[in-house]
Structure 1
Amino acid sequence: MELLVRQFFTALGLILCLQVILKCFAFSKYLFPRLWGISPSSFFPKMGEWAVVTGAGDGIGKAYSIELANRGMNIVMISRTLEKMQRVALEIEHTTGRNVKIIQADFTKNKIYERVEENLNGLEIGILVNNVGMLHSPDPCCFLASPDNDENLINCNVISAVKMTRLVLKQMEQRQKGLILNISSAFGSFPCPLYAIYSASKAFVTTFSKALQAEYKSKGIIIQAVTPYGVSTPMTKNTSTNIITKSPRDFVRESLNHVTHGSETFGCLAHAVLGCIMSQVPLSVIHSTRVQECFLNIFKQRK
C-alpha cells in the first residue's frame, strides 16, 4: 500500500513538472520570438497580393490595414464608416505607396455579402483579417439589462467571420496558400459574466478558427485565432494604455510576429502572462456574485 501511494505521488509530481515545462515552452514564443522564427516582411506578400480587413476604419482593424501595407500588401478595407476608411486609405497610399480598395458595408446586416463578393472578384487575396466586432453594451451588465441587440451582435461577431471566411477560403485552397486571422478575445476563453453574449460569440470564433486550421493546414493555409485582453480602441472607450492595455499599433505589430506559431495566440507577452494567471483562477470565483458586484462598482466609479 505504501509503495502504491509513493508511486501515485511520484506520477503526480511528474505530471505537474511536465505541465510546467509545457507552459514554459509555450511562453518561449513570446519571450524569444526570434528563436521561433519571426515572420519576415516578405512572408506576407508571398500569401497573395491583397489583404482584406473588416472593421478597418478604426482601432485594431485600422492598425492591421496600416501594418500589412507597411509589410508589402495592397489593402481592401471593409467597414460601415466610409469617412474613416477614406482617411486611413489616404494615409496608407501616401506613406507606403500600396493600393487601397474601400468597401462600405454594415456587418450587422446579412444582405451585404453578395455585394462584398462582387467587389472582391479578380483580387488575389492572400490575407483575411476578420476583425469587425461589437459589444452588447458600452459597459458590463447583466443579460436582461443590456440592449436587445442580440441579432446585430451575432451577425457582426459570428456570421461575419463565417461568411467572409467562406468567400476568401475558396481561392486560398485553390492556390494552396493563405493566412486568415480571426480576431477573437480572451473573454471567449471562459464563460464571462456581464459579457454573456460577447463572451459566447468570441468562444465561437476561437473554436471555429481551431477547427478550420485542423482541416486546412495540410493545404498550406494558416488560420489563427487572436485572443487579446486589453487593447485601447473606440469599443473600449480608448482606455489609457499600460503594461496590459496595448495600443492597437503596438498590439498588431507584435501579434503579426506570431502568425505561424499555432492556431491560437494571445498576440503579445503581457496578455499571455495574464492569460496564464486567469487560467489558474477557479470559475467559481469569477462567477461569484461578490466579484461581479465589485466589477460593476469599479466601472460606475470610472464614470
Structure 2
Amino acid sequence: MGKWAVVTGCSHGIGRAYAEALARIGLNVILISPDTENLKAIASNIEAMYNVKTKVIKLDLSEGLETYNVIEKETFGLEIGVLVNNLGMSYPHPEYFLDLPHKEKIYMSIIHCNVVVVTNMCRILLPQMVVRGKGLIVNVASMVAVLPSPLLTVFAATKAYVVKFSRDLQIEYGKHGVIVQCLLPGTVTNHTTESPRSGWMVPTPEKYVQSAIRTVGKENVTTGFLQHSVLIGIMKFIYRISPSSIIVWMINIMEGNRNNALRRYIG
C-alpha cells in the first residue's frame, strides 16, 4: 500500500499492537497520540526490533484545527499507505446521561476524540491514497455501536458514527483502490491492573490484531475476532426475538460496572 503507516492512539492496547504488527511486515510507522512521552520509548523499541523508521507526532486535542495542520505538515511528502484510527475515549465509568460528573467537558472530549479525530485523519491522508490508487484505512469503533448501550450513550453514539462514516467512505473510494474497514471489537485486555484477564472471549491486543489483519479485504465491517462475532450474532438474534431481555441484561451489566467503579472511588 505504501512505505509508511499511521496509527493513532498507540501508547497501549490495540493501537500499539497494530503499530508493531505493521512494523513487523516492514512498514515505517508514524505514531500519533496525546501521550508522546510514552510513544518515544515505544518508537525506539519498534526501530530496534523491526529495523524500520518511526516518527512521533503529538495530537493535542485542546488546540482545535491547529493540531491537524501540524499533522498535515509532519506527514507531507511521506508515502502513507495505511491509516489505523484507533484513538478513542469513553466514560470514566458507565453512568446515566445526566448524572456523569463534569459531563459538559467529558462529552465534548469524547465527541472530539471519537468523531473529529477520525474524520480529520481521513481528510488529511485519504487524498494521497486516491492519487496512488491504493491504500488501507482501519477505523476502530466498538461492539457497543451496534448494540443497546445504556449508561454509555454518548460513547456508543460516537462509535456508531465511525461505523456509518466507514461504510459510506468505502462506497465512495473503494473504486479508487482504497479499502476502508471498520472494526467492532468487544473486550480486549490492555495489560493494566483493572483490565480483564485474557481468555477465550477476551484476547490480548496482539492476538486481536493478528486476527483482525486477516479480515482486511474480506470484511468491511467486522468484529475482527471470531468469538466476538459469535457473541454479537447471538445478542442480535435474541434482540430480534425479545428486545426487552437484551436491554434489561445490558442495563444490569452497566449498573454493576457503575457500582463497582463508585465503590473503588469511595475506597
TM-score normalised according to structure 1 size: 0.80
Partner of 2:214: 257
Q: CA deviation at 1:241?
A: 1.1
Give the residue type in structure 1 aligned to 2:20: I
What is the identity percentage for the equivalent residue pairs of Structure 1 and Structure 2?
35
Partner of 1:285: 245
Q: Deviations over 1:119-164 (max 9, x none)?
A: 0101000000000001022x21111122311111100000111000
Report the aligned-residue RMSD.
1.9
Q: Contact 1:135–1:235 (CA<8 Å) still a contact in 2?
A: no
Q: Does 1:198 align with 2:155?
A: yes
Q: Deviations over 1:71-107 (max 9, x none)?
A: 1100000011112101111111111000000001134
The 3 A distance-change label for structure 1 pair 177 and 160 is same
Partner of 1:150: 107
Give the whole-Å Cα distance in 1 for the aligned partners of 2:60 and 2:194: 21
The 3 A distance-change label for structure 1 pair 107 and 295 is same
2:86 aligned residue (131, 144, 148): 131
Give the whole-Å Cα distance in 2 for the aligned partners of 1:88 and 1:61: 11
Q: Does 1:189 align with 2:149?
A: no
Give the residue type in structure 1 aligned to 2:3: E
2:125 aligned residue (144, 168, 179): 168
Give the whole-Å Cα distance in 2 for the aligned partners of 1:294 and 1:192: 10
Partner of 1:300: 259
Give the residue type in structure 2 aligned to 1:245: V
Give the whole-Å Cα distance in 2 for the aligned partners of 1:169 and 1:236: 37
1:93 aligned residue (30, 37, 47): 47
Structure possessing the higher radius of gyration over alpha carbons:
1
Q: CA deviation at 1:275?
A: 1.2
Give the whole-Å Cα distance in 1 for the aligned partners of 2:60 and 2:43: 18
Partner of 2:231: 274
The 3 A distance-change label for structure 1 pair 49 and 136 is same
Partner of 2:74: 119
Partner of 2:59: 105
TM alignment of 1:51-90, pairs within 5 A: 51-90=5-44
Q: CA deviation at 1:55?
A: 0.7
Q: Deviations over 1:229-274 (max 9, x none)?
A: 0111279942211111111111011101111112111111111111
Q: Count how many residue pairs are aligned between Structure 1 and Structure 2.
A: 255
Give the residue type in structure 1 aligned to 2:38: K
- Secondary structure (helix, strand or coil) at the match of 1:224 reads strand
The 3 A distance-change label for structure 1 pair 168 and 230 is same
Q: Contact 1:58–1:84 (CA<8 Å) still a contact in 2?
A: no
2:198 aligned residue (234, 241, 248): 241
The 3 A distance-change label for structure 1 pair 58 and 109 is farther
The 3 A distance-change label for structure 1 pair 268 and 98 is same
Give the residue type in structure 1 aligned to 2:176: K
The 3 A distance-change label for structure 1 pair 236 and 133 is farther
Give the whole-Å Cα distance in 1 for the aligned partners of 2:225 and 2:247: 26
The 3 A distance-change label for structure 1 pair 91 and 280 is same
Give the residue type in structure 2 aligned to 1:121: F
Give the whole-Å Cα distance in 2 for the aligned partners of 1:98 and 1:292: 46
The 3 A distance-change label for structure 1 pair 130 and 299 is same
* Structure 1 unpaired stretches of 5+: 1-46
The 3 A distance-change label for structure 1 pair 110 and 200 is same
Give the residue type in structure 2 aligned to 1:88: I
Give the whole-Å Cα distance in 1 for the aligned partners of 2:154 and 2:180: 24
* Structure 2 unpaired stretches of 5+: none
